[in-house]
Amino acid sequence: MEARLKTDFAAEPIPKILPVVPAIDVTVFPNMIMPLLVLDERIIAGINQACEQHNMILLLSAKTDDDGEVKEIDTDNLYSIGTVVTIMRMIKVPEGGVKILIQGLCRAKVQQLQSEDGILQAEIEEYPFIDEDEQEAKAIIKNIKEVSEQLLVTTQAFSPDFHAILSKMSNPEKIAEFILSHMELDSATSQDLLERPTIASLLEGIYHEMNKEIANCKYIFYYW
């Protein structure tokens, strides 16, 4: 086995063209850390190219059909908004693939997908949140913190530590990232949240999913 480790995480400019890694049932948000197993040789070639240059790739989720099954992965079946991630570590595995440990950097929108020397690449632009009235986000954060108390009582999905940490946080983006790193969401819901144009709309979506979790737990309790 061979391992590569990135140790310098200083801020670097995001390249305009990045190798693409298609993701199945996985959505990575900015600052989220996650392992990925990659077996496709063409995708591995793109990862190797990134490791030799800037350690950055673009993670794009694959679309699903009406039954929730992943469609054949090609340029037409990948979402146009994904996450630029940095490769923290890469390990070659005996099966011929690689395991990579990645960390989300920022959201990005695809301008054009292209294949160069068999490597899928995307021309991108960053996809930042649109400026908005901070009061709206603060109001939703208040609701989120209140519902987190209910989650502590009704479900085992969130620990007491989760609520304790959340109660002390105030930065809207950090709050969203923290909660998303603790939620188990299906790929369609995750993609919807990733594409939200404002931080308030993202927080509103998170608040909605937290309420769904409470409703599901109450239904199960009633059923039993």
Task: Please report the pLDDT score of residue 10 as a whole number.
Answer: 47
pTM, two decimals, is: 0.87
Confidence of residue 5 (pLDDT cuts 50, 70, 90): very low
Element (H, E) at 155: none
For 60, 98, 128, 167, 209, the CA distances from 105, given in Å and listed in that order, are 14, 21, 11, 25, 24
Task: Please report the pLDDT score of residue 127 as a whole number.
Answer: 97
**pLDDT tens digit sequence for 76-122:** 889 999 999 999 999 999 878 999 999 999 999 999 998 888 899 99
Residue 157: burial class (beta carbons within 10 Å; 0-12, 13-18, 19+): middle
Q: Can you tell me whether residue 63 is helix, strand or coil?
A: coil
Confidence of residue 168 (pLDDT cuts 50, 70, 90): very high
Q: How far is the C-alpha of 170 from the C-alpha of 118, rounded, in Å? A: 45
Specify the amino acid at residue 14: I
The residue among 81 and 42 whose pLDDT is bigger is: 81
Q: Is the pLDDT of residue 11 over 70?
A: no
Q: Is the pLDDT of residue 145 over 90?
A: yes
Task: Please report the pLDDT score of residue 222 as a whole number.
Answer: 40
Q: How far is the C-alpha of 73 from the C-alpha of 39, rounded, in Å? A: 14
Is domain 3-126 annotated with CATH 1.10.357.10?
no
Q: Is the pLDDT of residue 75 over 80?
A: no
Calculate what percentage of the chain has a pLDDT beyond 70. Answer: 87
Q: Under a CB-based contact definition with an 8 Å cutoff, are residues 21 and 46 in contact?
A: yes
How large is the average pLDDT for residues 146-165?
83
Which range, 10-24, 141-155, 193-207, has the best average confidence (pLDDT)?
193-207
Q: Is the pLDDT of residue 64 over 90?
A: no
How large is the average pLDDT for residues 25-29?
92
57 phi/psi in degrees, rounded to 5: -135, 165
Task: Please report the pLDDT score of residue 72 as a whole number.
Answer: 65
H-type helices in the chain, by residue range? 41-53, 134-154, 160-167, 172-180, 187-194, 199-223
Its CATH class, for the domain covering 134-223, is mainly alpha
Do the domains at 3-126 and 134-223 have one common CATH topology?
no
Q: How far is the C-alpha of 183 from the C-alpha of 174, rounded, in Å? A: 15
Spell out a b/e string for 67-92, using b for 16 or more CB atoms within 10 Å of the CB, else e: eeebeebeeebbbebbbbbbbbebbe
Element (H, E) at 26: none
For 35, 36, 188, the CA distances from 65, given in Å and listed in that order, are 25, 23, 11
Task: Please report the pLDDT score of residue 149 as a whole number.
Answer: 86
Q: Is the pLDDT of residue 130 over 70?
A: yes
Which range, 50-64, 70-84, 145-159, has the best average confidence (pLDDT)?
50-64
Task: Please report the pLDDT score of residue 219 as a whole number.
Answer: 41
Domain definitions of the chain by residue range? 3-126, 134-223
